[in-house]
Structure 1
Amino acid sequence: MAGRHFLHVPGPTNVPDRVLRAMHVPMEDHRSPVFPALTLPLFQRLKSLVRTETGEAFIFPSSGTGAWEAVLTNTLCAGDRVLSPRFGQFSHLWIDLAQRHGLDVVIQEEEWGIGASPQNIHDALAADRDHSIKAVMVVQNETATGVTSDIGAVRAAMDAAKHPALLFVDGVSSIASIDMRMDEWRVDGIVTGSQKGLMLPAGLGIAVMSRKAMEAMEAARTRDPLKRCYFDFLDMQKANATGYFPYTPSLPLLYGLREALDIIDEEGLDQVIARHRFLAEGVRRGVKQGWGLKLCAREPKWESDTVSAILVPEGVDGAAVIRRAFERYNLALGAGLSKVAGKLFRIGHLGDLNELMCLAALSGAEMAMRDVGIAVEPGSAVAVASEYYRSADKASSLKAAA
């Protein structure tokens, strides 16, 4: 198909040309004396990305799912209880992974369209008087529903319950796009992947662990630790200390990661977060004020700055919109997953993008909707969003994101 393909799923995201060029490298000896010059700074820079001074970063050749597995299997033991709210497909999958490893998951069912409930988490922990719950698992940004949970409020709830559980956060679709304050919120394990806010192909699973989590890892080894080999933090620690890995890393992705972090540093992390909020707000206004449609997120406080999940009218198959957008307009939109399959389509707005790219996504989605019989006014979403982008003060987005 002629022309550019417009990728507006919530991951993988567009890879900047600079990053593509940086990854175009010949293979080299990953045991050479100069290799640590590439790797050692990456561990430190990933810590800055989640605002931690004391955390420890790990980079696995995997997807974010591998990092999920690493966080749990290194810090917990067979039969340990963990608490996790389920409010979308990815919180469901993390719960499923925990159960497959033999963990006893206390599931808090929430409506798909809201995020984790700090109050429900508080109540469950307050009732756990013998502290049998060893960890709380929360997805910061649920891409299936376009919902963001308040991790700071979750930490406050845990503190109010005076509970010592570890706090693990899935930041796959939020890191480098939505604020994460690891030290301030005392998050014990953060998981992300390379293919979202980091603007890389899939293939790197990243975890950043607190000192408390690493102490839990040592304690778990004296009990009945969960089995692991490929994802063993101890193996990584030993090799990473001198800039190496216990097995062959993905060389192109490491070079790409360095370039992606350069891009983020040049813009400034606070500005990156503000840009995502600014662009997302234009999309949301276009959807609600222009098209007159609803988001899956039930209230503005839940709305994600990296993906908007747009409900289609009753009787319309959201998959038809996605298929038409792809086949006729060369536009990739995100599908509805699991409970919301066919009920919505998703516009991803994260990573390397600007106002015109968001307007293109709205325009293409609008044409696809009209083609399948959804009566929205031509040009309505683009008109609303473009006026917002023209008139809104980006500085206010920066202030709100800080």
Structure 2
Amino acid sequence: MTVQRGRHFLQIPGPTNVPDRVLRAMDAPTIDHRGPEFATLTLSVLEGLKSIFQTAGDVVIFPSSGTGAWEASLVNSLSPGDKLLMFETGHFAMLWQRMAKNLGLDAEVVPGDWRHGVDPAQVESRLAADRKHEIKAVAVVHNETSTGVTSRIAAIRRAIDRAGHPALFMVDTISSLASIDYRHDEWGVDVTVGGSQKGLMLPPGIAFNAIGPKARAAAKSARFPKAYWNWEEIIAANKSGFFPYTPATNLLYGLREAIHMLLEEGLDNVFARHARLAEATRCAARGWGLEILCLEPEEYSNTLTALLMPEGYNADILRKVIMERFNMSLGTGLGKLQGRVFRIGHLGDFNELMLAGTLAGVEMGLSVAGIPHAKGGIQAAMSYLVDPRGKEKDVQVASFEQRANKTEIRS
């Protein structure tokens, strides 16, 4: 077995690198989860999470993956047979839809090409046509981790309002929370789903529902059986700083430290940092002559970039080369994108020098794997990072032209 020296570059779009401060915070004795010290911890974390979700309402914490928080959002607010409007924006949107169907919900899916976010005009049109208000909820993935496409949540909220429709609005922020601007209250979201392992810079293991008053009211008449996922029992126990189950105690230590780190930097600065590093990554992609999967610049993700391989080349072979030669993990293509794309994660505890190393690994990997590309991607990214106003200034950018709007993704 080849011995690798130096640190491993974990550049998948989550789980992300866990910063030392968070690791040290979790490296503490486990305390009594029924004692006063734990109650203080819980109340501090719950208050901090409100700032992260930008809500004055309740945030519920589950010891689970984001998948558990998906299920909690559905079973607490809906009833078997209810109609749910969902959108095919990528792999995770379809997994949420499959869960809804498995639970016995009538999940209607608006088809998509995996290269665009949710179209607010389609939302408005479909809801306006639902004169009997049979649709009980609209469910949207804010940032689709499989594609690097971000849907415009505020615009979708306005579309729902223009249609005059009473449907609940549910949003998955698993790969956008604490990385891309998100405003639960201001944007009129009823249930927000989140997870610990991406922008919150924690290991996997805890997930969240931020719950608005309309969703709390809907929960009173929701008929799905639930026990572990029951919002009301958790909210009641949280009032005194406890949980109706054994919580992930040491992860909560880490969460408290992660919240401190985010608020120290300031959320606006966190969002700006992610936007800057994301655009630098896209500068590199253009320099290499590789096609960005997302077709709409206003929908580019600031937490990951998915790049299409040239025709006839396999992304997983490239990923294998980069892993074996340069000890760096990149995200694989998921679902119908398997082998077609590789994904560069640029979120969480991440800075310019870490990005430069990541992009160097990609460019070297392209050369080693014999993938057609132009040189200069790294230089384009560095030029942007030095002077974002003079984007790609004095840099010989690839002569390859983007094939945007020409490549069709087929099942």
Normalising by structure 2, we get a TM-score of 0.93
- Contact 2:310 2:372 (C-alpha < 8 Å) held by counterparts: no
Detail structure 1 runs of 4+ shifted over 2 Å in the superposition: 375-378
Alignment-mate amino acid for residue 330 of structure 1 = N
Give 1:339 deviation, angstroms.
Answer: 1.1
AA at the equivalent of 1:62: S
Greater shift after overlay, 365-374 or 259-268?
Answer: 365-374
Which residue is 1:300 aligned to? 297
What residue number does 2:345 align with?
A: 348
| Structure-2 separation of matches of 1:208 and 1:198 | 15
CA contact 2:201–2:349 (8 Å) conserved in 1: yes
Secondary structure of the 1:207 match is strand
Aligned pairs for 1:247-258 (under 5 A) are 247-258=245-256
Which is further off, 305-314 or 27-36?
27-36
Distance in 2 separating the partners of 1:97 and 1:60: 18
- Please give the residue correspondences for 1:281-296 in structure 2 after superposition, counting only pairs within 5 Å: 281-288=279-286, 290-296=287-293
| Inter-partner Cα distance in structure 2 for 1:115 and 1:21 | 38
Partner of 1:381: 377
Shift of 1:78: 0.6
SS at match of 2:234: helix
Equivalent in the alignment of 2:231? 233
Q: Deviations over 1:255-291 (max 9, x none)?
A: 0000000000110001000100011000001101x10
Name the structure 2 match of 1:186.
188
Identify which of 13, 19, 32 aligns with 1:16.
Answer: 19
SS of 2:210's partner is strand
Q: Quick one: distance in 2 between partners of 1:86 and 1:73?
A: 21
Q: Which of 97, 102, 108 in structure 1 is aligned with 2:104?
A: 102
Match of 1:392 in 2: 388
> Which residue number corresponds to residue 400 of structure 1?
none
Partner amino acid, structure 2, of 1:10: P
Structure 1 position 200 matched with structure 2 position 202: yes
**How big is the shift at 1:237?**
1.5
Superposition TM-score, scaled by structure 1 size: 0.95
Query: How far, CA to CA, are the matches of 2:317 and 2:172 in structure 1?
Result: 30
When structure 1 is superposed on structure 2, of 368-377 and 133-142 the one drifting more is: 368-377
Q: Is the 8 A contact 2:179 2:270 kept in 1?
A: yes
Q: Deviations over 1:93-124 (max 9, x none)?
A: 00011111100011101111101111111111
Tell me how far 1:43 sits from its aligned partner.
1.2
Residues in 2 aligned to 1:20 and 1:333: alpha-carbon distance in whole angstroms: 23
Alpha-carbon distance in structure 1 between the residues aligned to 2:352 and 2:87: 34
Q: Which moved more, 1:125-134 or 1:27-36?
A: 27-36
- How far residue 219 of structure 1 moved from its aligned partner, in angstroms, is 2.2
1:106-185 correspondence runs (5 A): 106-185=108-187
Give the unaligned 5+ runs of structure 1: 395-402
Amino acid corresponding to residue 288 of structure 2 in structure 1: W
Q: Matches of 1:68 and 1:129 in 2, distance apart? A: 27
Asked if structure 1 preserves the Cα contact closer than 8 Å seen for 2:289 and 2:374, the reply is no
Per the alignment, residue 332 of structure 1 pairs with 329
Residues in 2 aligned to 1:39 and 1:357: alpha-carbon distance in whole angstroms = 33
Residue aligning to 1:242 = 240
CA distance in structure 1 between the partners assigned to 2:37 and 2:47 by the alignment: 18
Residue identity in the other structure for 2:312 = G
Deviations 1:50-94 (A, max 9, x none): 2112x2100000011111110110010010001001110000000
**Partner in structure 2 of residue 47 of structure 1:** 50
Aligned pair partner of 2:274 in 273, 276, 295: 276
Q: Please state whether the residue corresponding to 1:35 is helix, strand or coil.
A: helix
Instruction: Name 1:38's counterpart in structure 2.
Output: 41
Q: Which residue of 2 aligns with 1:370?
A: 367
SS of equivalent to 1:38:
helix
Tell me, in whole angstroms, the C-alpha distance in 2 between the residues paired with 1:34 and 1:286: 48
Preserved contact between residue 75 and residue 225 of structure 2 (Cα < 8 Å): yes
Give the Å deviation of 1:393. Answer: 5.9
SS across alignment from 1:270:
helix
Structure 2 Cα separation of the partners of residues 243 and 57 of structure 1: 13
CA-based RMSD? 1.1
* Structure 2 SS opposite 1:377: coil
Q: Give the aligned partner of residue 59 of structure 2.
A: 57
Distance 1:72 1:393 in 2: 44
Letter matched to residue 326 of structure 2: Y
Q: Which residue identity lines up with residue 340 of structure 1 in the other structure?
A: L
Counterparts of 2:304 and 2:166 in 1: how far apart (Å)?
33
CA distance in 2, matches of 1:71, 1:310: 32
Q: Secondary structure at the match of 1:219?
A: coil
1:216 aligns to 2:218 (yes or no): yes
Using the TM superposition, give the Cα deviation of residue 169 of structure 1 relative to its aligned residue in structure 2, in angstroms.
Answer: 0.1
Aligned residues: 387
Conserved in 1, the CA contact under 8 Å of 2:58 and 2:235?
A: no
Q: Per-residue CA shift, 1:6-54, capped at 9, x if unaligned? A: 010000001000000000011111001222110012112111112112x
Structure 2, gaps ≥5 residues long: 391-411
